[in-house]
Amino acid sequence: MQTFDLVRASDRPAAIAAGAESATAQQGASVRFLAGGTTLIDLMKLGVERPERVVDINRLGLDEIRKAENGDLFVGATARNSDLAHHPLVRADYAALSQAILAGASTQLRNAATTAGNLLQRTRCMYFRDLASACNKRKPGSGCPAIAGANRMLAILGTSNACIANNPSDMAVAMLAYDAVVHVQGVAGGRQIPLADFYVLPGQRPDIETMLAPGELITHVTLPPPKTGERSVYLKLRDRASYEFALVSTAVAVTLADGKIANARFALGGVGARPWRVRKAEDVLRGSAPDERAFRNAADTCLDGARPQSHNGFKIELAKRCIVHAFKQVTS
The domain spanning residue 311 has which CATH number?
Answer: 3.30.390.50
Domain boundary among 58, 74, 105: 58
Domain-located, residue 51:
yes
pLDDT category of residue 202 using cuts at 50, 70 and 90: very high
The per-residue pLDDT for 21 is 75
Reply yes or no on whether the pLDDT at 329 is more than 60: yes
Q: Is 221 part of a structural domain of the chain?
A: no
d(CA 155, CA 271): 5
- Lowest mean pLDDT: which of 17-26, 102-111, 209-218? 17-26
**Which residues, other chains included, contact 232 with Cβ-Cβ below 8 Å and sequence gap of 6+?**
94, 95, 96, 174, 177, 178, 251, 252, 253, 254, 330
226 assigned to some structural domain: no
Range of the domain at 283: 231-331
Return the pLDDT at 23. Answer: 55
Q: Which of 9, 29, 58 is the last residue of a domain?
A: 58
Burial status of residue 239 (CB atoms within 10 A of its CB: 0-12, 13-18, 19 or more): exposed
Decide if 302 contacts 323 (C-beta within 8 A): yes
Q: Is the pLDDT of residue 22 over 70?
A: no
For residues 244-259, give the mean pLDDT: 97
111 domain-assigned = no
pLDDT, tens digit, for every residue of 226-242? 999 999 999 999 999 88
Strand order in the sheet with 260-269: 231-237, 248-257, 260-269
State how far the Cα of 63 lies from the Cα of 56, in Å rounded to an integer. 14
pLDDT value of residue 30: 87
- Domain at 28, CATH number: 3.30.43.10
- Residue 25: the pLDDT is 46
Confidence class of residue 20 from pLDDT cuts 50, 70 and 90?
A: confident
Q: pLDDT exceeding 70 applies to what percent of the chain?
A: 98
Specify the number of domains making up the chain: 2
The pLDDT of residue 28 is above 50: no
Q: Check pLDDT > 80 for residue 303.
A: yes
Is residue 88, in this structure, part of any structural domain at all? no
- Residue 145 above 80 pLDDT? yes
Alpha helices in the chain (DSSP H): 12-23, 40-46, 81-86, 88-93, 95-102, 107-112, 115-120, 171-177, 195-198, 279-285, 292-302, 314-331
Q: Does residue 112 surpass a pLDDT of 60?
A: yes
pLDDT digits (tens, 9 = 90+) for 33-56: 999 999 999 999 999 999 999 999
Question: Under a CB-based contact definition with an 8 Å cutoff, are residues 273 and 208 in contact?
Answer: no
Number of other CB atoms surrounding residue 238 within 10 Å: 16
**What average pLDDT does the chain have?**
95
Q: Is residue 305 part of a domain?
A: yes
In a domain, 18, yes or no: yes
- Cα separation, 317 vs 180, in Å, equals 28
The answer to whether residue 35 is domain-embedded is yes
Q: Using the 3D structure, point to which of 37, 58, 79 is the last residue of a domain.
A: 58
pLDDT band at 29 (very low <50, low <70, confident <90, very high): low
